[in-house]
Amino acid sequence: MYERRLVAQIKQRLGENRHFIQIISGPRQTGKTTAVNQALQYIKAHQHFVSAEDPALLSREWISNEWERARALQKQTGKDTVLIIDEIQKIPQWSSAVKQLWDEDSRRNVPLKVILTGSSSLLLQRGSEESLTGRFEILYSPHWNFEECKEAFGYTLEDFLFFGGYPGAAALKTEEERWARYMGSSIVEPTISQDILQMEEVRKPALLRSLFKLGAAYSAQELSYTKIMGQLQDAGNTVTLAHYLELLGKANILCGLQKFSANKIKTSSPRFMVFDTSLMTYSDGSARKRLLENQNDKGRLVESAVGAYLLARSKEENFDVFWWRERNKEVDFILQKGKKITAIEVKSGRIKNIGGSLEFKKLYPQAVSLIVGNANAQLEDFLSGKIPLFY
């Protein structure tokens, strides 16, 4: 079975002395539980693995009972023991219970190591910020990149552009209609209904779903909130739309990239960007052949693939992703990490204004320019992680 880099990261953390709770977070169906199980095979430690899948059993008391079982196992054997709680975010008030139990072990010098996994970054973020400050580290499980899909599933570049980086969908690449049903029932709807609607007050669920569908289909394009309101029924106001777009971003399916500005004033016109190209092709609803043969549509797919790759890297490496335009000069992506700035233009075949990087460097001379799709940075190499983002 294919092993992602995440497996080695988990293995390394478990090989260290007990310092922090390890939280494995990321989009649904990207292989978080699989990576944990693979890493555990290398660890000479006893394991107590439980999953928060049965709503009837879930409570603070359930966490305490399973924690006590892991403690008893460690005490009985006197060896390293790892407690793994899968999908922790499904348990109400999970973070305060974990904090209490972890602190008890710290006071009593109980060497129990703990791994928590969760699909909902919204719930995990809220819980970790409320109770677990200073007690945890996060390992991110992003969508699979092109290199991983090529090695694990034999994807071509065009396969990857259309079907994206969800490993569970790879077996359906020869059946587009079945693949689309899988994307809707196993990825999109659970993300919206379980990772957003169950934990946030969303007064217009239908609007949130419509915003996702519209934004994903328009990925790699700028659309003002005024135009968005014109295309959606019962769209409310721009504040509501901006809030819903923020929730979709935290759920790792769709975000609105902001224009780069030295004064950090956000624009009212986001550039939609999916976190995986499959979300765009699913929402567009067009057949693979039509999308890939149309130069403009394929160009947006290429730009969305680059954007999705950058969003995944940004979570792991802590940098910000923007875009930039001044009059008719445009740069597809601006990366900022501290004082380092990289301007990225994508040669996608789509007709658009050129020369943006030169204009941008006049304003920001410290920026480094990178063109994805030329001989020095081929698209396949870039999407496989072989091109440095900062110099």
pLDDT value at residue 53: 74
The pTM (predicted TM-score) of the whole model is 0.91
Closest CA relative to residue 288, chosen from 187, 384, 180, 380: 180
Residue 128 pLDDT > 80, yes or no?
no
Q: Residue 22 — very low, low, confident or very high, per pLDDT cuts 50/70/90?
A: very high
- Name the phi and psi angles at 101, rounded to 5: -70, -40
Residue 266 pLDDT > 70, yes or no?
no
pLDDT value at residue 231: 86
Yes or no: say if 72 and 38 are a contact pair by the CB < 8 Å rule: no
CA distance 291 to 91: 41
Mean pLDDT of 171-183: 96
Query: Look-up: residue for tokens 């199980």?
Result: 37
pLDDT value at residue 184: 97
- Name the phi and psi angles at 364, rounded to 5: -130, 80
pLDDT value at residue 214: 95
Gyration radius of the chain's alpha carbons: 22
Closest CA relative to residue 144, chosen from 276, 304, 319: 276
- Name the phi and psi angles at 377, rounded to 5: -145, 75
Yes or no: say if 114 and 82 are a contact pair by the CB < 8 Å rule: yes
Closest CA relative to residue 209, chosen from 246, 164, 248, 169: 248
pLDDT tens readout for residues 26-74: 999 999 999 999 999 998 889 999 998 766 666 889 999 999 999 999 9
pLDDT value at residue 56: 63
Looking at per-residue pLDDT, the higher value among 212 and 133 belongs to 212
pLDDT value at residue 70: 97
Give the strand order in the sheet containing 320-326: 320-326, 329-337, 340-346, 368-372
pLDDT value at residue 344: 96
pLDDT value at residue 268: 59
User: Taking the alpha carbons of 157, 161, 164, 168 in that order, is the dihedral positive or negative?
Assistant: negative
Q: Residue 265 — very low, low, confident or very high, per pLDDT cuts 50/70/90?
A: low
CA distance 204 to 239: 13
Report how far apart the first and last C-alpha atoms of the chain are (Å, whole number).
Answer: 35
The CA distances from residue 177 to 159, 180, 206, 288, in Å, are 15, 5, 24, 11
Query: Look-up: residue for tokens 């983002």?
Result: 389
How far, in whole angstroms, is CA 201 from its chain's centroid? 22
| Arithmetic mean of pLDDT over the chain | 90
Mean pLDDT of 318-344: 94
3-state secondary structure the chain: CCCCHHHHHHHHHHCCCCCCEEEEECCCCCCHHHHHHHHHCCCCCEEEEEECCCHHHCCHHHHHHHHHHHHHHHHHHCCCEEEEEECHHHCCCHHHHHHHHHHHHHHHCCCEEEEEEECCHHHHHHHHHHHCCCCEEEEECCCCCHHHHHHHHCCCHHHHHHHCCCHHHHHHCCCHHHHHHHHHHHHHHHHHHHHCCCCCCCCCHHHHHHHHHHHHHCCCCECCHHHHHHHCCCCCCHHHHHHHHHHHHHCCCEEEECECCCCCCCCCCCEEEECCHHHHHHHHCCCHHHHHHCHHHHHHHHHHHHHHHHHHHHHHHCCEEEEEEECCEEEEEEEEECCEEEEEEECCCCCCCCCHHHHHHHHCCCCEEEEECECCECHHHHHCCCCCCCC
pLDDT tens readout for residues 343-390: 999 998 776 666 788 999 999 999 999 999 998 899 999 999 999 999
| High-pLDDT (> 70) share of the chain, % | 93
